Structure 1
Amino acid sequence: MGTEYEKDHIKKLQEQRMSMQKKTFTNWMNNVFFRNNVKVEIQDIYTDLKDGISLMQLLELLSGETLPKPNRGKMRVHFLENNSKAISFLKSKQVQIKVIGPENIVDGDRTLILGLIWIIILRFQISSIKLDKVKQSDVLFANEALLLWCQHKTASYSNVNVKDFSKSWSDGLAFNALIHAHRPDLIHYSSLRQDQPIKNLNNAFDVAEKELGISKLLDAEDVAVPYPDERSIMTYVSLYYHYFSRMKQGQTIQKRLTK
């Protein structure tokens, strides 16, 4: 009896995780297109990437490089050709893609499509994260660097203890602390209560979007669960990192100019 229940439970968690990833990754892709003034909107990540054209566009925007021209034909063979070009481009960037082939994208393989988008996010958004005074060695280190950055910024906040990119973010306080650490004028931290996760999450997401222009990739309801999806949270938190790094660089340049 127990094992059936466990299997059901694991299956449910897996579905929850995939549904959160699907939402976050779709929002993330649309955010990349929007910021680059490209009129593309992905509705369903499992079907809209089929022809390979949006995927090729996405890679061009992220890398700043030009890929071979996509084939505009409407047949399966054209779709496979475009997705092959996208995958070859990633391989040329030393991105490890072993199990994902063009046919997986054309056939809408949900697990592998989510895996592919995650690989792209890791390569173009997370692997560039570097901490001062720490030697950067590999992509694996980039998620550790992001975690260390979060720990460092939120260390002095009550009720915040960032140990991972899942459970530590459920009550929303860590997001608020990250914003407050850089922009104390935007968050009234002492008024937040740990037992109001949805309120806390929406507060951080709204402030980040309205005041900092950081797109709302996550829904509070998906995060306020015992184990929210790690990849989704990491994707969103990396936007904070990049935003505040740019802010810091801007301030450093200002200081130099005033001197």
Structure 2
Amino acid sequence: MKKTAISRRIANLGLACAITILAGCAAVQTTGSGEVGVDRKQYMSGMVSEAALEQEAAQQYATLVGQAKAQGALDSDAAQTQRVKAITQKLIQQVGIFRPEASNWKWETHVLTSDEVNAWCMPGGKIAVYTGLIKQIKPTDAELAAVIGHEMAHALREHSREQVSQQMATNLGLSVLSAITGAGPTADLGSALSDVMFTLPNSRTHEAEADRIGVELAARAGYDPRAAVTLWQKMGALSAGNAQPEFLSTHPSAASRSADLTAAANKVLPLYEQAAGKQ
């Protein structure tokens, strides 16, 4: 077969894949907009269901927790763990504002002993905070609430599912093309989730949404939302002249981030003042 015929066949096949992929996507609104006004429509692939991703996340989380426990690295400091869980619980009580069904998620929080300055929340509410973040950043309760609220916001918005949907859609096209090109096998759901959670950076759009929702969750929970600004200043100072913290390596920081956080914090300041007055 001539090269032009092969190229034409690949192009047609690619077009067919694109149509198939687009047909399998649906525009959804995963959360309410809240006071911070996050209302972007998201496109999720039918190949990646919310339930399937949450199940995979739960399995991976259980494995990580089991490994940490075996190494004596799970919740090793009782006071530290209690502090993290108490802050997280206050934040969880606010998630219904953005996503009512998330109040019924099987939330779980652990502190993992690691020098990494990191924290994350997997789909379905599986949270980890690393001791490196606590020891090196030395966050106030409000700053710690900003970190955890930010990560919870990624889960509420299903940013992982959105990214995995894109990966799986791409892999669908590659798997079809591999019949012609001889390309290797594509990633499965588990490896795609691992890549999204621990390797690939979040987009600026995802980061901005998580920042804003996290700030509102913290404010509603009675934590000063302005602490998000000082938190990122500490993160930036830690990375100045040194290796970038793991948290920042997967969380790209735009020059306008501080200004955006300040604006969001000022918007929800009345919510904080109201919540603080009740405590």
Using structure 2 for the length normalisation, give the TM-score. Answer: 0.24
Higher strand share: 2
